[in-house]
């Protein structure tokens, strides 16, 4: 038998490619779904997923075998998305402004928080409303909400994926979910699940807070 040293290499590469197909590709559905919420477009989502997988494959050696492959892929996906998006819309809200807005919102929200006799309007909504409401969230809030509520990542995983402290994940989730509630509530009013008359504030704007206030007034 003739010694064929060249055969070693392709087979090593072959097993690398097979390992990637086996470990990374099964996460395609989850990545695509989240990409759809991030980009809001099937074509862009597909591009984003493809770019993510190509980058992941390029750096496959850096992935530590048997660690959290899904989180690793999501990190690439999220970074790629954020970087692409940053180029498009230039005057973005600074991180500081977001955080400031957030802390004042936390304080303002407190008083009306408990007065919530509304019926379970959310369960009367359609999936497309939930989708639209999530898509309407600003990127800073949308990403943690998608990662936590649709992909079941832990705070720690989300912090790693988004490259931010766990405290930031917590506050953005809080704020993102509150916005989501407002958004869904508006759909509920539009659909007549909740009467518009009790859901408007003094300026005529539909809001969950106004609804809670009117309910509270009616009860008291």
Partner 1 sequence: MNCDDIQNALYVYLDGEFAELEARDFERHVDACARCTKLMVREGRFLEAVRDAAPQDPAPAGLRDRLALAIDNAPSPLPATLPVAPRPRGWAFALAAAALVLVAVGLSVGTTASAENTVIDESVATHQKSLPMEVRGSHRNVSDFLQQNVPFAVDLPTFQDPTARLVGARLTRVHGREAVLLNYEVDGERMSVIQLAAETSVDDAEPAVQSKRGFDVWTFKRKGVLNSFVGRDARSVRRLVRAAYRR
Give residues in contact with partner 1 (CB under 8 A).
13, 16-17, 20-21, 25, 28-29, 32-33, 36, 42, 46, 49-50, 53-55, 57-62, 79, 82-84, 87, 106, 110, 113-114, 116, 120, 122-123, 125-131, 134, 148-150, 154-155, 163, 170, 173-174, 177, 180-181
In the complex, least distance from residue 22 CB atom to partner 1, rounded to whole angstroms:
12
* CB nearer partner 1, residue 130 or residue 198: 130
For residues 195 and 182, is the Cβ–Cβ distance under 8 A? Answer: no
Smallest separation (angstroms) from partner 1 to the CB of 195: 19
Q: What is the CA radius of gyration of the chain?
A: 23
Q: Which long-range contacts (CB under 8 A, 24 or more apart) does 174-180 make?
A: 174/102, 174/106, 175/102, 175/105, 175/106, 175/141, 176/137, 176/140, 176/141, 176/142, 176/144, 176/145, 177/145, 177/149, 178/105, 178/109, 179/137, 179/138, 179/141, 180/133, 180/134, 180/137, 180/145
Our CB check for partner 1 shows the closer of 2 and 95 to be: 95
Q: Which is nearer to partner 1, 32 or 207 (CB)?
A: 32
The Cα–Cα gap between 195 and 218 comes to 14
Collapsing DSSP to helix, strand or coil, 133 comes out as helix
Taking the least distance from each CB to partner 1, the nearer of 85 and 201 is: 85
Q: What's the closest the beta carbon of residue 29 comes to partner 1, in angstroms?
A: 5
When the beta carbons of 99 and 149 are compared against partner 1, the nearer one is: 149
Question: Least separation, in Å, of the C-beta of 129 and partner 1?
Answer: 8
- Rounded to the nearest whole angstrom, what is the least distance from the CB of residue 188 to partner 1 in the complex? 11
């Amino acid at each position: 038998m003739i010694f064929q040293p060249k055969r070693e290499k392709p087979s090593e590469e072959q097993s690398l490619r097979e390992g990637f197909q086996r470990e990374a590709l099964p996460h395609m559905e989850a990545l695509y779904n989240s990409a759809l919420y991030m980009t809001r477009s099937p074509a862009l989502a597909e591009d984003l997923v493809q770019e993510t997988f190509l980058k992941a494959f390029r750096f496959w050696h850096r992935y530590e075998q048997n660690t959290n492959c899904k989180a690793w892929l999501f990190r690439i996906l999220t970074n790629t998305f954020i970087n692409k998006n940053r180029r498009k819309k230039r005057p973005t809200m600074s991180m500081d402004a977001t955080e400031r807005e957030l802390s004042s919102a936390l304080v303002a929200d407190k008083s009306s928080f408990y007065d919530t006799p509304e019926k379970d309007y959310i369960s009367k909504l359609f999936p497309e409303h939930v989708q639209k409401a999530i898509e309407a969230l600003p990127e800073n809030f949308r990403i943690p909400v998608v990662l936590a509520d649709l992909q079941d990542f832990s705070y720690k995983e989300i912090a790693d994926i988004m490259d931010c402290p766990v405290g930031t994940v917590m506050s953005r989730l809080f704020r993102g979910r509150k916005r989501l509630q407002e958004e869904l509530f508006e759909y509920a009013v539009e659909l007549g699940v909740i009467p518009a008359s009790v859901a408007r504030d003094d300026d005529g704007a539909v809001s969950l807070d106004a609804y809670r206030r009117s309910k509270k007034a009616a009860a008291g």
